[in-house]
Amino acid sequence: MADKTILVVGTYDTKNDELEYMVERLEAMGGAALSMDISVLGDPEQPTDYSKHDVAAAGDSSIQAAIDSGDENTAMQIMAKGASALAARLFSEGKFDGVVILGGTMGTDVALDVCQALPLGVPKYVVSTVSFSPLIEPARLSADIQMILWAGGLYGLNSVCKSSLSQAAGAVLGAARAVEPPNTDRPLIGMTSLGSSCLKYMKPLKPELEKRGFEVAIFHATGMGGMAYESIAREGGFACVLDLALQELSNLLAGSVVNSGADRMLNAGAAGIPQIVAPGCLDLVDLAGWQDIPLQYQDRPFHAHNRLIKSAGLNGKERRETAREIAKRLKASDTPAHVILPNRGIEEWDREGNETYDPEAFAEFCDEMRLQMQSPIAFSELDCHINDAPFVAKVLEIFDAWVADGTIKTSA
């Protein structure tokens, strides 16, 4: 008997051979497959486990409605909605263990929605003609999505595209066999940070929180990490969040590609999760290492971290805007939010003598934070740097008080 079942998704009217080849590979390796057809106009050579009519109906529509739209973009969005809903339901019913989806731009558009509809820990593989392309905005990538380029396979099977298809089949089946889904034995704390050359609080905080009986997941706040953090928060997966590195928000406001989507700092509050917040690295805008520094940032304090990422300092006006945005997002929350402002610096490179030190702009930020952090937001200002011991002590003080009064639940 097959040990794991993989959902195979694609337009079976035009890509039947390629999809069936992946099914054959899965079965040859001891797996099983469920097929889902997201075609609109044509029909597969053989019936699939879930037909295009099943897919459209799962999205409260029909194939006829997709055809009558007269527009392939509208039609495929109907199929995307249905495929996402159907895949989520099938997974909740235990019908499959991982998913592989094949497509060009149309199929990939659907694939991104399907992957976002499935929980973290479900293996998700997309074989696409536009894998890793700048056409795909970061906000549409699920936290644990995997992609492989569908090379040389747009019309029909050949040895080149079989290489991609067979790798994808093996990868998703292997992942389904190997994955350890998130454990819910202990309540989970979500923390945002950067590497310890910039932010250091996670090193003392993590063991202290673990001593208190919590599991701690620390998310690298460089865009994709924030997306993973927000996806778990959206599902109510945290007992509390320590959102202490916020430069993904300043990146979003500045239009940087290094962001985690428009819903940054909104999901925890919407899901009823208490939030301890600090403005770690909110004085910077991150830029991709390969891009030229935009003109407006060329005279700013600057830090080149590596060949992938570099950062420019924000001016006083921009920092005031970030403070206002923090307040706006936290005030949308129905759950407790406590903001801590370390008034001697919010990342290691902004200490006096370091590259991004800008006391005038930082003073403006602190002034605006004092103005904006009003009820219902709790606010504490500390005379220390974010990487100093008193900051860690304050986080733990607030955390322990919330545990004592029941704000933070101590059972998973």
Decide if pLDDT at 88 tops 80: yes
Q: Omega before 376 cis (within 30°)?
A: yes
Number of other residues whose CB lies within 10 A of the CB of residue 407: 16
- In the numeric block, the tokens 């731009």 are attached to 105
* Nearest C-alpha neighbor of 228 from the set 199, 274, 267: 267
Tell me the residue type at 321.
Answer: E
Mean pLDDT across the stretch 5-17?
95
Give me 273's structure tokens: 């999760």
Tens digit of pLDDT for each residue in 36-78? Answer: 999 999 999 899 999 999 999 999 999 999 999 989 999 999 9
Mean pLDDT across the stretch 274-295?
90
Mean pLDDT across the stretch 324-337?
94
Question: What DSSP line would sit under 166-180, residue for residue?
Answer: HHHHHHHHHHHHH--
What pLDDT shows up at residue 137? Answer: 81
Categorize the per-residue pLDDT at 328 as very low, low, confident or very high, splitting at 50, 70 and 90. Answer: very high
Query: Which pTM was predicted?
Result: 0.84
* Nearest C-alpha neighbor of 265 from the set 332, 215, 176: 332
Categorize the per-residue pLDDT at 412 as very low, low, confident or very high, splitting at 50, 70 and 90. Answer: low
Decide if pLDDT at 161 tops 70: yes
Categorize the per-residue pLDDT at 1 as very low, low, confident or very high, splitting at 50, 70 and 90. Answer: low
Tens digit of pLDDT for each residue in 134-160? Answer: 788 877 888 789 999 988 877 778 888
Decide if pLDDT at 103 tops 80: yes
Give me 328's structure tokens: 């706006």
Categorize the per-residue pLDDT at 260 as very low, low, confident or very high, splitting at 50, 70 and 90. Answer: confident
SS3 state at 306:
coil
Q: Which residue has the higher pLDDT, 238 or 333?
A: 238
DSSP state of 261: -
Categorize the per-residue pLDDT at 181 as very low, low, confident or very high, splitting at 50, 70 and 90. Answer: confident
Mean pLDDT across the stretch 1-8?
89
Are the beta carbons of 362 and 279 closer than 8 angstroms? no
Highest mean pLDDT of the ranges 2-6, 233-237, 257-261, 395-399 = 395-399
* Alpha carbon of residue 316 to chain centroid: 29
* Nearest C-alpha neighbor of 217 from the set 247, 250, 249, 240: 240
Give me 131's structure tokens: 């894998």
What pLDDT shows up at residue 185? Answer: 84
List, in order of start, the domains of the chain with CATH numbers: 5-178 (3.40.50.12020), 188-404 (3.40.50.12030)
Categorize the per-residue pLDDT at 256 as very low, low, confident or very high, splitting at 50, 70 and 90. Answer: confident
Decide if pLDDT at 242 tops 90: yes
What pLDDT shows up at residue 243? Answer: 98
Decide if pLDDT at 378 tops 80: yes
Mean pLDDT across the stretch 219-234?
89
Look at the chain and count its residues.
412
